[in-house]
Structure formats: structure tokens, C-alpha cells
Amino acid sequence: MINLDEFPSFFVANWKLNSNISFIDDYIKNLQTNTENCLVICPPSIYLNLVKTNSKNLFLGSQDVSMYDEGAYTGEVSVNMLVDNKVNFSIVGHSERRSYFNETNEKVLLKTNKLIEKSIIPIVCIGETLEQKEKKITKEVLRKQIQECIPKNANFKNTLIAYEPIWAIGTGLTPSVEQIDEVHAFIKNHDNKFNNFKILYGGSVKSSNSEEINKSKNVNGCLVGGASLNVNEFNKILV
């Protein structure tokens, strides 16, 4: 398994339902891997094999994993298939999966458990809606998501958490750096078990705000959607 402590920060490119073969060729040729940070590319699963990770800090991630191991589950990709394809990380519980594909905390828990058992690092996404933020119940929402999505065998060496406020995803809106740091500090300190967990921030990260966000004491990297689709923009975020 990857030793997460080797890297100062983590930058995860979540391509979602974007890219094609020529995009990938061009992207990998132009991606600047000369950084100490850990870079994780999460392409659509059909392209996992095309992203060549021939640099010591560049890894493959999937955008999801099945909660089933094998059998009659049309369209699914199992954890063993990810292992076969040398996938080291997997996003789980992304808000788009939760809202469009009925992914519940219970399912996220099952998936996270399977990934840990196979030494793939889950990147467990949590975050509040705008309504929850306005009602000032962000911390309660996050506490419940953490309790219900993160299994007992998870620890800071085998699991990453991504705080992604749903209202910030793809909207161009971001919390202030102070607000992000406060939420990350809450996640780390609400229970001693999480003190050393690495917490990534996601939601409208781009080159113009990534440096400031990533400088925060409790931020250990970023999960980047839209801005990761432009390799020149992503290169600026990685430094």
C-alpha cells in the first residue's frame, strides 16, 4: 500500500464523465510530475489502463467501486478489478453519486471497507448542502457522515477524507480559507481517532485559489474536478 506519510500534499484529479483517448495522451505528456506531492488521476473506469503512471508520485484512482465482489451486477466495477488494474486510490461517496445514483452512507461504508481490505486508499467524500450550511448544521451533518461512512478498520494510514461542500462543487463558489480550515480542524478533532487523518478540500479549486487553500494548517491537499480537465491549469495547482 502507498505510504501516505511520504507526501506533503495530495492532488486528486476527478475527471468525472469527461476525456477521451487523445485527451489522455496529451494530458499525460504534459502533466508535470516534478513535485514532491502525490498526484492521483481518476479517469472514467474504461480508461484506467490508458493512464500510464510511470512516475514515482503519480497514481491511478477510480471514481467509484462496486459494493459487490462479483456476479450479476450489470455495469459495475469490482474492487478486485481495480486491484488488477493497479489502482491505488478510489473516490467513494462523491456527492454526485449520492444525489444521482442513490448512494447512501450505508453503501459508502461497504465500499470503503472493501477498498481498505484490498489496500486501495479510499478517498471518502463528505460535505453539507447549502440548506444545511444556512441552518448552521454543517458539523452535525459531517459527524454523521463520518460515523456512518468510515469503518472501524480505517485509520490515517489507509484512508483519506475529502471535505467537499456540495454548494461549492462546480459552482465557482468556495468557503473562505478560514472556514475550510475550521471545518478540517473539526473533522480531525471531533474524535481522537481522526487526529492524524489527512483531509483534502474539494469544490471549485483552481490555480487562483489552490495555493492559499493548501497553505492552511489543516488542509492536506485538494480534490479537483473542473480545473483538473485542463492540464496546464492542473499543473499550476500542483506546485
Binding residues for ligand PGA, per CB under 6 A?
Answer: 14, 164, 169-170, 202-205, 223-227
φ/ψ of 68, rounded to 5, equals -105, 155
Least distance (Å) from ligand PGA to the CB of residue 106?
A: 22
Of 7 and 163, the one with the shorter C-beta distance to ligand PGA is 163
**C-alpha to C-alpha distance for 7 and 166, rounded to whole angstroms:** 27
Which one is catalytic: 94, 96, 128, 184?
A: 94
**C-alpha to C-alpha distance for 9 and 201, rounded to whole angstroms:** 11
Of 146 and 222, the one with the shorter C-beta distance to ligand PGA is 222
Of 121 and 196, the one with the shorter C-beta distance to ligand PGA is 121
Which one is catalytic: 96, 103, 128, 164?
A: 164
Of 67 and 227, the one with the shorter C-beta distance to ligand PGA is 227
**C-alpha to C-alpha distance for 86 and 59, rounded to whole angstroms:** 9
**C-alpha pair distances (Å), 146 with each of 172, 193, 204, 230:** 26, 11, 22, 32
**Residue sitting closest to ligand PGA (CB):** 225
Of 83 and 141, the one with the shorter C-beta distance to ligand PGA is 141
Q: Are 118 and 86 in contact (CB under 8 A)?
A: no
Least distance (Å) from ligand PGA to the CB of residue 213?
A: 12
Least distance (Å) from ligand PGA to the CB of residue 211?
A: 15
Residue for grid cell 479517469: 43
Least distance (Å) from ligand PGA to the CB of residue 206?
A: 8
Residue for grid cell 448542502: 129
Least distance (Å) from ligand PGA to the CB of residue 138?
A: 18
Is residue 131 part of the annotated active site? The answer reads: no
Q: Are 151 and 111 in contact (CB under 8 A)?
A: no
Is residue 94 part of the annotated active site? The answer reads: yes
Residues identified as active-site: 94, 164
